[in-house]
Structure 1
Amino acid sequence: MFKKLALAALAIGLISAPAAAQDYPTRPISYILHVSPGGATDIMARKIALGLEKSLGTPVPVENKAGGRGAAQLADINKSAPDGYTIGSVTSTHIGAFNQTLKQYNVDSFDWIARLVNEPYLLVVNKDSKLNSMKDLVEVANDKPGSVVMAGFVRGSGGHFAWEIMAQSANLESSKVRWIPYDSVGDAVTATVGGHAEVAIAYVDLVKNQVEAGNLRVIAVMADERVPQFPDAQTFKEQGYDADTSWQQMRGIIGPKGMPKDVKNKLAEAVKAVLETPELQTYMKESSLTPAFQGPAEFTEFAHQQDTITKEWMTRLSMH
Structure 2
Amino acid sequence: MKTQTYRILVATAGLAAFAGASGALADDYPSRPVSLIVGFAPGGPADTLARIVAKEMNADLGQPVVVENKPGAGSTIAAREVAKADPDGYTILFVTSGHAGNFSYYPNLDFEASDLTGVAGIASTPIVITTGPDSPFTSLGDLIEAAKADPETLTYAAGGGGATLTALSAATFLDKADISAIPVSYGGSGPQNVDLMGGVLDFAFDTVSGSAALIQNDQIKALAVTSDKRSDVLPDVPTVTESGLDNFDQILGWFGMLAPAGTDPEIIATLNGAVVSALESEAVLTQLSSQGLEPMKMDPEEFDAWLVSETDRWGGLIKSLGLSAE
TM over 0.5: yes
Q: 1:11 to 1:232 in 2, by over 3 A?
A: closer
Secondary structure of the equivalent of 1:233? coil
The Cα shift of 1:55 comes to 1.2
The Cα shift of 1:164 comes to 1.9
Q: Letter of the aligned partner of 1:190 in structure 2?
A: G
Q: 1:200 to 1:272 in 2, by over 3 A?
A: same
- Provide structure 1 residue ranges, at least 5 long, that are not aligned to the other structure: 183-187
CA–CA separation in structure 1 for the residues paired with 2:30 and 2:313? 36
CA–CA separation in structure 2 for the residues paired with 1:37 and 1:243? 38
Report whether the alignment pairs 1:195 with 2:166: no
Provide Cα deviations, 1:105-128, integer angstroms capped at 9, x if missing partner: 432121222122333211234556
Secondary structure of the equivalent of 2:159? strand
Report whether the alignment pairs 1:76 with 2:81: yes
Aligned position for 1:166: 173
Report whether the alignment pairs 1:123 with 2:117: no
- 2:159–2:167 CA contact under 8 A, matched in 1: yes
CA–CA separation in structure 2 for the residues paired with 1:224 and 1:17? 42
Secondary structure of the equivalent of 2:32? coil
Q: For 1:26-65, what aligned pairs fall within 5 Å after superposition?
A: 26-65=31-70
Aligned position for 1:89: 94
Q: For 1:170-319, what aligned pairs fall within 5 Å after superposition?
A: 170-173=177-180, 176-180=181-185, 182=187, 188-195=188-195, 198=201, 199-242=203-246, 244-285=248-289, 289-319=293-323
- Identical pairs, percent: 26
Secondary structure of the equivalent of 1:180? coil
CA–CA separation in structure 2 for the residues paired with 1:43 and 1:315? 31
Q: 1:81 to 1:180 in 2, by over 3 A?
A: farther
The Cα shift of 1:252 comes to 1.0
Q: 1:14 to 1:166 in 2, by over 3 A?
A: closer
Q: 1:94 to 1:102 in 2, by over 3 A?
A: farther
> Which among 134, 146, 156 is matched to residue 163 of structure 2?
156
289-298 or 251-260: bigger deviation: 289-298
Provide Cα deviations, 1:74-121, integer angstroms capped at 9, x if missing partner: 233234332212212223321211012244243212122212233321
- 2:125–2:209 CA contact under 8 A, matched in 1: no
Secondary structure of the equivalent of 1:75? helix
CA–CA separation in structure 2 for the residues paired with 1:78 and 1:108? 9
The Cα shift of 1:72 comes to 2.3
CA–CA separation in structure 1 for the residues paired with 2:118 and 2:53? 16
The Cα shift of 1:216 comes to 3.2
82-91 or 141-150: bigger deviation: 141-150
Consecutive aligned runs of 4 or more in structure 1 exceeding 6 Å deviation: 6-14
Q: 1:223 to 1:78 in 2, by over 3 A?
A: closer
The Cα shift of 1:138 comes to 4.4
CA–CA separation in structure 1 for the residues paired with 2:272 and 2:316? 30
Tell me the TM-score normalized by structure 1.
Answer: 0.80
- Provide structure 2 residue ranges, at least 5 long, that are not aligned to the other structure: 1-5
RMSD, matched Cα: 3.4
- 1:69–1:154 CA contact under 8 A, matched in 2: no
Q: 1:218 to 1:254 in 2, by over 3 A?
A: same
Aligned position for 1:101: 106
Q: Letter of the aligned partner of 2:313 in structure 1?
A: I
